[in-house]
């Protein structure tokens, strides 16, 4: 149980003793520091409820709290705001319990099973800057949910279904018409066929084919036919498609690896298709499928809709499945395979209508238990200085790889470490780059667009990943220098900064629970900055290692260890790795 929860429970007990029953007591930081650490505002609602004067109730409560040794300086302000201060004895005693495990200061919610759908990668297309946010947010939420005791599956849900694949194969066919994949009489082993295509080629082929299909109706028709062949698992075309997926997946994995992003499930849209028959039956049974110009659609309009809800395209007129339908089939698949309590979708905010449609249709057809929560976690875009999605210097689409390279170069220039090993320096620069990129990406509320500012993001000062890493490594090195000292408990808090550090440490569970509620990592990045900068203030004001008062020195080391451990826990939750030095 967290320290805050313990205080809260004790407060509830005290109020109960006075005859007042309250669910939960909001411990707010006091507005005026001199008045106390926390404010308790319970007297006002209680006065209403019991028809009494709030000031009288506040006095009653204050009298009762005086019996509790963890509080000091109990005073009443205004109509009945009660201010309390926590004693140093209480704080040190509670913090000492965390020395071996800061995770004891977390309040875990009811356990749940969650599938997190994030990343958004599409086969045969390069990951671009727009894919950063989904990967970063999803990975962070995955790690947080695990920390909070949930059972979690991260699923890449690869975009591996539909026209893009047909287009890519068509273009390959034009380039290499003699490949056995296109030879209907081929009877050999496809796995042994050499494919002269690299991932780099794929990334060029798709834009080219897509452009051609826009200009040439015949080309488009050919691509449609090939798409259908792949979807009907026609030998050669299907085998080629599997090879393309493999080449592409390998590259996608490499980029995600460099971002510390990984998945438990590497399923794709196409894997949901085996659940389509069951899906069809569920929709059909409820009479939800309507014919419309050769297609099958599901009407979703409701009287209370504030915005127009277009029908969902269930089967296209050419017989293929839409993006919505594969998402519906995927829900069914997840029900059968993971049976989660919740499914979270970390996807670009501009897809919110798509998910409104999918979720509504899923409810209509009751494809999953109504208790299962389907949550769309939309995010804003990362823009360039012009306020438009970040581009390369010549105005092209910026791939995620080139974005990472750009930040790598910048951090390489900035780090000043003494090492003869070029490899080591590059590794450190890369870790710092990922920290800068991910930390800055998590700084604004997820729904907000933000501007990519390399200079600012890679700065060693201020709210940046580099600052957090640098400071945390410094804490580690201080602790390393104190290796021979036995520091296992704090004796006291000796000054205001230490008190502030202690109170900030106490706030960890609030930050984690809020993040889990808002599904936005900005709570964590903010908190990391706050804790780190107060600690740094303490660090610059005190010379820990040469302190002569032994108890003081030991207390300071313990405090350092607590901040270090919390920092490491949160840095890891953000999916950031810490270099040995920087």
Footprint of ligand ARG (CB under 6 A): 117, 120, 122, 157, 159, 327, 345, 347
Residue 534 host element (H or E): helix 522-541
Minimum separation from the CB atom of position 310 to ligand ARG (A):
17
Nearer Cβ to ligand ARG (271/523): 271
Q: Shortest Cβ distance from residue 376 to ligand ARG (Å)?
A: 10
How many residues belong to the chain? 582
DSSP code of residue 265 = B
Closer residue to ligand ARG (CB): 135 or 466: 135
Closer residue to ligand ARG in complex, CB, 117/222: 117
Minimum CB distance to ligand ARG, residue 167 (Å): 15
Query: Which of 142/173 has CB closer to ligand ARG?
Result: 142
Q: What is the Cα gyration radius of the chain? A: 29
- Shortest Cβ distance from residue 120 to ligand ARG (Å)? 4
Burial annotation 119-134 (CB, 10 A radius, 16+ → b, else e): bbbbbbbbbbbbbbbb
**What is the Cα 476 distance to its own chain's centre?**
26
* Least distance to ligand ARG, CB of residue 296, Å: 20
Least distance from ligand ARG to the Cβ atom of residue 352, Å: 12
Instruction: Output the 3-class SS for 434-501.
Output: HHHHHHHHCCCCCCCCEECCHHHHCCCCCCCHHHHHHHHHHHHHHHHHCCCCCCCCCCCCCCHHHHHH
Instruction: Quote the CA–CA distance of 135 and 225 in Å, as a whole number.
Output: 33
Give Cα 411 distance to the centre of its chain: 24
In the bound state with ligand ARG, the residue whose beta carbon lies nearer, of 148 and 209, is 209
Contact by Cβ (8 Å): 71, 85: yes
Nearer to ligand ARG, 246 or 492 (CB): 246
CB-nearer residue toward ligand ARG: 347 or 482: 347
Minimum distance from residue 263 beta carbon to ligand ARG (Å): 13
In 3-state terms, the chain is what percent helix, strand and coil (to 5)? 55, 10, 35
Q: Is 313:325 a contact under the CB 8 Å cutoff? A: yes
Shortest approach of ligand ARG to residue 117 CB, angstroms?
Answer: 5
Phi, psi at residue 501, to the nearest 5°?
A: -60, -45
At which residue do the structure tokens 């889990």 appear? 516
Q: Which is nearer to ligand ARG, 125 or 430 (CB)?
A: 125
Q: Which residue, 30 or 322, has its beta carbon nearer to ligand ARG?
A: 322
Q: Closest separation between CB of residue 83 and ligand ARG, Å? A: 49
Distance (Å) of CA 211 to CA 126, 208, 322: 16, 5, 21
Our CB check for ligand ARG shows the closer of 128 and 476 to be 128
Nearer to ligand ARG, 282 or 347 (CB): 347
CB of 252 to ligand ARG, least distance (A): 11
Closest residue to ligand ARG, Cβ-based?
159
With 0-12 CB in 10 A as exposed, 13-18 as middle and 19+ as buried, what is 530?
middle
What span, in angstroms and rounded, lies between the C-alpha atoms of 437 and 430? 10
CA distance 131 to 401: 11
At its nearest, how many Å lie between ligand ARG and the CB of residue 244? 16
Question: Is 15 strand, coil or helix?
Answer: helix
Q: Which two tokens stand for residue 238?
A: 């299907």
Contact, 166 vs 230, CB < 8 A?
yes
For CA atoms 535, 536, 541, 542, give the dihedral sign. Answer: positive
Closest distance to ligand ARG from the beta carbon of 349 (Å): 12
Q: In angstroms, what is the minimal distance from the CB of 157 to ligand ARG?
A: 5
Handedness of CA 361, 366, 367, 372 (dihedral sign): positive
DSSP H helices, 415-464, are 422-441, 454-457
Coil, helix or strand at residue 487: coil
Q: Closest CB to ligand ARG among 226 and 347?
A: 347
Choice between 263 and 539, CB closer to ligand ARG: 263
Place of tokens 């509790």: 68
CB 81 within 8 A of CB 30: no
Q: Whole-number minimum distance, CB 298 to ligand ARG, in Å? A: 17
* β-pairing verdict for 373-379 and 342-348: parallel
Residues 182 and 436: their CA atoms lie apart, in Å, by: 47
* Residue at token pair 């600052």: 467
- Strand 450-451 vs strand 382-383: parallel, antiparallel, or unpaired? parallel
Nearer to ligand ARG, 80 or 159 (CB): 159
Min CB(347)–ligand ARG separation in Å: 4
Q: Can you tell me the distance from the alpha carbon of 548 to that of 564, in angstroms, rounded to the nearest whole number?
A: 23
Looking at the Cβ atoms of 81 and 118, the one nearer to ligand ARG is 118
């Amino acid at each position: 149980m967290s320290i805050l929860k313990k205080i809260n429970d004790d407060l509830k007990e005290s109020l109960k003793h006075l005859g007042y029953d309250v669910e939960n007591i909001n411990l707010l930081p006091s507005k005026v520091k001199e008045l106390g650490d926390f404010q308790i505002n319970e007297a006002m609602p209680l006065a209403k409820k019991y028809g009494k004067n709030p000031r009288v109730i506040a006095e009653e409560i204050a009298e009762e709290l005086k019996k509790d040794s963890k509080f000091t300086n109990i005073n009443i302000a205004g109509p009945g705001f009660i201010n309390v201060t926590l004693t140093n004895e209480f704080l040190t005693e509670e913090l000492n319990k965390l020395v071996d495990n800061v995770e004891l200061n977390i309040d875990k919610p009811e356990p749940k099973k969650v599938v997190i759908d994030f990343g958004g990668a599409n086969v045969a297309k390069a990951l671009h800057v727009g894919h950063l946010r989904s990967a970063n947010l999803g990975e962070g939420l995955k790690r947080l949910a695990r920390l909070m005791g949930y059972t979690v599956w991260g699923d890449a849900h690869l975009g591996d279904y539909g026209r893009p694949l047909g287009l890519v194969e068509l273009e390959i066919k034009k380039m290499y018409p003699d490949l056995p994949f296109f030879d209907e009489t081929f009877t050999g082993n496809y796995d042994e066929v050499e494919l002269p295509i690299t991932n780099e080629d794929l990334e060029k082929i798709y834009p080219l084919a897509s452009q051609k299909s826009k200009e040439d109706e015949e080309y488009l028709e050919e691509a449609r036919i090939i798409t259908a062949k792949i979807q009907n698992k026609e030998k050669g075309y299907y085998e080629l498609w599997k090879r393309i997926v493999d080449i592409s997946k390998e590259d996608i994995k490499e980029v995600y690896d460099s971002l510390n992003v990984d998945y438990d499930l590497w399923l794709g849209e196409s894997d949901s298709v085996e659940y389509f028959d069951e899906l069809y039956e569920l929709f059909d049974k409820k009479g939800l499928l309507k014919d419309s110009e050769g297609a099958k659609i599901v009407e979703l309009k409701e009287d209370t809709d504030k915005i127009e809800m277009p029908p969902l395209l269930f089967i296209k007129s050419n017989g293929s499945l839409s993006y919505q339908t594969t998402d519906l089939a995927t829900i069914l698949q997840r029900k059968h395979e993971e049976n989660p309590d919740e499914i979270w979708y970390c996807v670009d905010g501009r897809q919110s209508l798509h998910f409104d449609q999918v979720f509504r249709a899923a409810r209509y057809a009751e494809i999953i238990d109504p208790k299962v929560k389907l949550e769309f976690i939309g995010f804003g875009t990362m823009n360039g200085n012009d306020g438009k999605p970040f581009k390369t210097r010549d105005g092209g689409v910026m791939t995620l790889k080139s974005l990472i390279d750009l930040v790598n170069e910048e951090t390489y220039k900035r780090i000043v470490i003494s090492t003869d090993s070029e490899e080591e320096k590059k590794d450190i620069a890369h870790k710092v780059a990922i920290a800068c990129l991910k930390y800055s990406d998590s700084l604004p509320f997820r729904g907000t667009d933000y501007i990519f500012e390399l200079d600012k993001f890679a700065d060693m000062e201020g709210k940046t990943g580099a600052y957090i890493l640098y400071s945390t490594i410094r804490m580690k090195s201080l602790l390393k220098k104190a290796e021979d000292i036995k520091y296992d408990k704090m004796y006291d808090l000796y000054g205001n900064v230490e008190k502030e550090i202690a109170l900030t440490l106490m706030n960890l569970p609030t930050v984690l629970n809020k993040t889990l509620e808002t599904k936005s990592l900005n709570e964590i990045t903010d908190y990391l900055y706050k804790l780190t900068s107060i600690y740094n203030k303490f660090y610059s004001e005190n010379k820990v290692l040469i302190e002569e008062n032994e108890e003081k020195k030991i207390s300071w080391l313990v405090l350092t260890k607590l901040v270090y451990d919390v920092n490491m826990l949160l840095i890891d939750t953000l999916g950031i790795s810490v270099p040995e030095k920087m």
